[in-house]
Amino acid sequence: MRKSHIRLDGGFHNEVYYIEEKDKVVRVSNARKTKEMVLQEIEWMNFLYEQEVAVPKPEMHVEDENGQVRTYFEYVKGDMMDVKNVLHWNEEVFEQWGKTLGKMHALSKIFKVVKIHRPIWTVENTDVFGIRANLSSWLKELYDRLMQNLCEFDSTESTFGLIHNDFHQGNLIITKDGTITTIDFDDCAFNWHAQDIAVAFYHAYWQHSSYNGETKAFPKTFMNHFFTGYQSESLLHEDIVKQIPIFLKIREIFLYQLFNSKWDKNNLEEWQKYTLLDLEEKIKNNNPYAGISDFSIYL
């Protein structure tokens, strides 16, 4: 990349650069993403943008070169959400966060596609995250059991649709006027709405407990305001609330597999060693995340 291309955080799967002369962001996706998959992602983002959801406006074309797909987006000026910043981490923000998600889920009910190119959860193929083949036998057994639990629910437009699928604070930017802008739809999939809520709570609680210490009151504070914001835009079906603990446990398995595959096992930092051991213990003991087995108490 040229000097005018400033590298940004692309996560585990992509390379992302800021193009100074164009004031745009370019994302270079690896071979796991086809052109058709990326096009459906940016069609979804553009639909949300047109419906006044705060997302980066995508350019409605992609470049496919040597198996790498380049996608261009509007550059959003602002700061990544910071759990240590009281201006970012407060009740008003939690409510706006939930409101943003509620609006996206409401709009997913009317977003129509002719052919599905994104990953999709089905009763016949529940592995929407594409991780089952790489799981060890004990993890695979638990993963299958959790997915089977989801099969007991009816997928309707009130509980299922095209979702962000990685809706944590690391993918949120707060602009100077206080608007929360959602970025990185790279993992968007046709999945249960509860997944987005579970991921939001999982990472909020994890980072809050890591950096801010006090955790006893946090779940109530966060979920009360998050649910209030969500319900101002979309129906919070009772099945969504019932599914949250399932998706929290799935998140633990997902992260455990991801970290094991991406981190250098021979050069782990102490926090990485702790994270892997902590995840393994919680998964094996089937501990409810944050000690919560019923999220209806926050309604």
Q: Is the pLDDT of residue 213 over 90?
A: no
The answer to whether the pTM exceeds 0.85 is yes
- CA–CA dist 252, 291 (Å, integer): 14
Listing DSSP states for 232-269 in one string gives: TTS---HHHHHHHHHHHHHHHHHHHHHHHHHS-GGG--
pLDDT-derived band of residue 66, with 50, 70 and 90 as boundaries?
confident
Predicted confidence at residue 12, as pLDDT, reads 60
Structure tokens at 16: 């992302």
Question: Where do you find CATH 3.90.1200.10 in the chain?
Answer: 82-298
- Does the domain at 5-74 match CATH 1.10.10.10? Answer given as no
Give the SS3 label for residue 182. Answer: strand
Question: Where do you find CATH 3.30.200.20 in the chain?
Answer: 5-74
pLDDT digits over 22-46, tens only? 899 999 887 678 889 999 999 999 9
Pick the CATH number of 82-298 from 3.90.1200.10, 3.30.1490.100, 3.30.300.20, 3.40.1280.10: 3.90.1200.10
Q: Are the C-beta atoms of residues 199 and 188 closer than 8 Å to each other?
A: no
Predicted confidence at residue 11, as pLDDT, reads 60
